[in-house]
């Protein structure tokens, strides 16, 4: 539980002052909100902006949106090791407790008269689940609510995160959120609280239940729990109202199913669903469902509702984001949470987004809302990794797949046999350090961005050759991905389409690889091959497929041969929105092998290893372009298909002038390149100057 005492004094972290935003009067009490997540308040840093190109017209994008299907919305956002899938599936198949089912069948209300409007005005303990299908997850929650004061507590994922609504003696309300941060070497209990505020009606209502004063009776329906009442609300707005963008009219359809206790008055909720229709995107573009598995009307122990931040929290910070301390509130609002207006502005400003028309803006906002909900729920799991909203949060899955370029294996491998057996790897394990990273030794070039071109295969192989060349020459020479994209077709390369890394290895072995600033600049598309106009910097003698599913073999291969190419599942939301910590997620598939990245080293956290991977999605992904993948669990398949190039001394053709390895690419010039002195015919028997770098 989050409230376990850790025995240390809190460290108070100040927050930036809140920024008020104006919202439409149509939202009533829900519009009185403070926001500090605007672009002006964000931490800005000079990063290259990753530009992504839409796949087609607005109407084509809408069709792709409706073609998207969730993978498994009954699972939690991240499948952590302690999660028992079978147990959770059984639990989610039950709508209401045994007590609820008995009550529902015992005394159904008569058909001849409308039942009395239900009231949730008694203190309660409630357990349930929230499923958001388009965001592809389910989260569990437990609510304690005191009806006399309005104080409440909600535990998410069995107490991984707890939120509190504290009612102060003067009647003001303060929100508190507590969670254990497991992204560092040691657990840290972090707490966030809001400033006291005057209580509005939602600040007194029970969490996870809608305000039924707005609903009307819609008849009866048969359920496994007996005959249930249907209470419905339809909220329709005009263009730009209720959370829609300009020109978009939204319609929210709410339905609550409940049964009555034997007294024909006490209401027991079973299920609450919301679906959203858009005038420009179509039907059911957004939706979610509460399933109430247990409800007991009882007064909670007052100690359960007191967070006691002074004694428990190790870090205490301030926030004015109500969604942090009341995560379930947006799902019981009659309309869309107005904070997403500011979220969209922030994303558009940060990543220089320009949408073609109102239809695309409506689509992008809907996608952003879905991504934000997934990320927030995943972070409430308090796992070893943290997710964040990044430049892919408003992109369709089809657009995200453009970044995945590892194709199917074309047939028998031309790789050399792996020189490191499992027995030798185990013997060498004692010699391997706990932490090793080629970035610290100068063998890794800066993170680059592949753009809307499925060329990750080229970026990963180029990075591996750059590292291998550094080991031979002590020079870090940036090499050209465009060379591979343009020219590797005869060897099985498919340019901006899925390509197995072997095509890149075979091309470099036969034709060599050119320097980044001597070949055509990267344009995220296939150009006419210009390899004959520039001499290569290096060839390779071949490549090696590292022993599969062996943590020790991959570590040894990285240590001896430089960064390795690894193939991972880049389509998992946990991977896409990864920010920091060690990603440990069994929803990230081990055998998908759809994305190529570069393993540049490894580390250890809490006694378990992780691999450091360099991505080609710009420094706006994860930690400046680098992520950590849990090694023992083979998260995302990092151990499934590793490989590295074999680069020997005779393979080095030449080293460009020193500035080629350090300076950015010069501007293009129409003047011819200066003549280059001829070099001997490449041969393994040719006498060459021997370059050697001692391993650190």
Which of the residues are catalytic? 456, 595, 615
Q: 588: helix, coil or strand?
A: coil
- Please, which residues bridge with residue 11 across strands? 315
Question: The tokens 């509130």 sit on which residue?
Answer: 329
The CA distances from residue 635 to 205, 417, 584, in Å, are 41, 25, 6
Q: Among residues 322, 320, 317, which one has the least CA distance to residue 178? A: 317
Size (the chain), residues: 696
**Widest CA span of the chain, in angstroms?**
100
Q: Which two tokens stand for residue 510?
A: 């036969």
C-alpha 671/C-alpha 663 separation (Å) is 20
Question: The tokens 């025995």 sit on which residue?
Answer: 7
Containing 505, the helix (H) or strand (E) segment is: helix 501-511
C-alpha 76/C-alpha 69 separation (Å) is 16
C-alpha 400/C-alpha 575 separation (Å) is 12
Task: Fill in the DSSP letter of residue 294.
Answer: E
C-alpha 405/C-alpha 495 separation (Å) is 9
Give yes or no for a contact between 595 and 576, defined as CB atoms under 8 angstroms apart. Answer: no
Q: Among residues 389, 536, 528, which one has the least CA distance to residue 42? A: 389
Helix axes 339-350, 358-380, angle to 10 degrees: 100
C-alpha 554/C-alpha 551 separation (Å) is 5
CA-based R_g, the chain, Å:
29
Q: 13: helix, coil or strand?
A: strand
**Number of other CB atoms surrounding residue 623 within 10 Å:** 14
The CA distances from residue 207 to 145, 147, 164, 326, in Å, are 8, 11, 11, 8
Q: Is 173 exposed, middle or buried (0-12, 13-18, 19+ CB in 10 A)?
A: buried
- Look at strands 250-260 and 267-278 and give their pairing: antiparallel
C-alpha 79/C-alpha 73 separation (Å) is 12
- Look at strands 436-437 and 595-605 and give their pairing: antiparallel
Reduced 3-state DSSP string for 439-464: HHHCCCCCCCECCCCCCHHHHHHHHH
Q: Among residues 202, 237, 239, 245, which one has the least CA distance to residue 341? A: 245
Task: Fill in the DSSP letter of residue 19.
Answer: E
Q: Among residues 309, 387, 388, which one has the least CA distance to residue 13? A: 309
Q: Among residues 205, 240, 200, 237, which one has the least CA distance to residue 29? A: 200
Give yes or no for a contact between 278 and 336, defined as CB atoms under 8 angstroms apart. Answer: no
């Amino acid at each position: 539980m989050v409230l376990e005492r850790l025995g240390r004094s809190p460290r108070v972290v100040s927050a930036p002052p809140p920024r008020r935003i104006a919202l439409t009067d149509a939202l009533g009490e829900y519009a009185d909100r403070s926001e500090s997540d605007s672009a002006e308040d964000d931490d800005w840093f000079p990063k290259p902006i990753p530009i992504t190109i839409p796949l087609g017209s607005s109407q084509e994008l809408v069709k792709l949106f409706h073609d998207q299907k969730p993978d498994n919305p009954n699972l939690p956002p991240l499948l952590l090791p302690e999660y028992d899938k079978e147990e959770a599936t059984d639990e989610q198949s039950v709508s209401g407790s045994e007590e609820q089912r008995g009550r529902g069948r015992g005394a159904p209300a008569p058909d001849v008269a409308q039942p009395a409007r239900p009231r949730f005005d008694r203190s309660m303990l409630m357990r349930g689940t929230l499923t958001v299908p388009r965001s592809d997850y389910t989260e569990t929650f437990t609510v304690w609510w005191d009806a006399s004061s309005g104080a409440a507590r909600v535990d998410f994922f069995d107490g991984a995160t707890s939120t509190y609504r504290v009612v102060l003696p003067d009647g003001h309300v303060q929100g508190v959120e507590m969670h254990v941060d497991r992204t560092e070497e040691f657990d840290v209990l972090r707490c966030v609280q809001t400033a006291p505020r005057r209580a509005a009606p939602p600040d007194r209502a029970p969490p996870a239940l809608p305000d039924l004063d707005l609903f009307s009776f819609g008849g009866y329906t048969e359920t496994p729990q007996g005959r249930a009442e249907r209470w419905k609300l339809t909220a329709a707005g005009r263009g730009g109202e209720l959370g829609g963008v300009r020109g978009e009219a939204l319609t929210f359809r709410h339905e609550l199913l409940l049964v009555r206790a034997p007294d024909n008055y006490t209401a027991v909720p079973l299920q609450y669903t919301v679906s959203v229709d858009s005038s420009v995107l179509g039907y059911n573009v957004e939706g979610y469902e509460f399933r109430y598995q247990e409800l007991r009307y009882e007064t909670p122990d007052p100690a359960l509702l007191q967070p006691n931040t002074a004694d428990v929290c190790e870090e205490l910070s301030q926030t004015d984001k109500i969604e942090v301390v009341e995560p379930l509130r947006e799902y019981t609002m009659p309309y869309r949470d107005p904070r997403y207006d500011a979220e969209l502005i922030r994303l558009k400003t940060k990543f220089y987004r320009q949408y073609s028309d109102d239809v695309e803006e409506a689509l992008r906002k809907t996608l952003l809302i879905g991504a934000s909900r997934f990320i927030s729920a995943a972070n409430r799991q308090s796992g070893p990794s943290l997710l964040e909203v990044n430049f892919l949060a408003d992109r369709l899955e089809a657009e995200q797949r453009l970044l995945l370029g590892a194709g199917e294996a074309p047939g028998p491998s031309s790789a050399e046999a792996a020189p490191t057996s499992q027995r030798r790897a185990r013997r060498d394990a004692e010699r391997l350090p706990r932490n090793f990273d080629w970035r610290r030794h100068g063998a890794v070039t800066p993170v680059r961005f592949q753009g809307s071109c499925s060329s990750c295969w080229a970026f990963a192989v180029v990075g591996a050759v750059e590292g291998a060349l550094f080991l031979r020459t002590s020079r870090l020479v940036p090499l050209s991905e465009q060379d591979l994209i343009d020219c590797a077709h005869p060897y099985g390369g498919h340019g901006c389409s899925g390509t197995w890394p072997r095509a890149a290895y075979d091309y470099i072995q036969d034709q060599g690889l050119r320097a980044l600033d001597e070949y055509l600049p990267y344009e995220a598309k296939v150009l006419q091959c210009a390899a004959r106009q520039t001499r290569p910097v290096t060839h390779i003698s071949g490549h090696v497929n590292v022993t599969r599913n062996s943590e020790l073999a991959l570590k040894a291969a990285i240590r001896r041969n430089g960064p390795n190419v690894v193939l991972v599942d880049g389509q998992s939301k946990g991977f896409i929105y990864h920010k920091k910590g060690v990603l440990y997620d069994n929803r990230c598939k081990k055998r998908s092998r759809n994305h190529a990245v570069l393993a540049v080293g490894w580390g250890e956290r809490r006694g378990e290893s992780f691999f450091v991977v360099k991505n080609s999605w710009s420094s706006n992904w994860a930690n400046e372009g680098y992520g950590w993948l849990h090694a023992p669990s083979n998260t995302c398949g990092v151990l499934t298909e590793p490989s590295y190039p074999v680069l020997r001394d005779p393979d080095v053709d030449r080293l460009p002038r020193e500035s080629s390895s350090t300076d950015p690419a010069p501007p293009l010039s129409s003047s011819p390149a200066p003549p280059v002195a001829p070099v001997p015919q490449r041969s393994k028997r040719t006498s060459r100057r021997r370059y050697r770098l001692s391993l650190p």
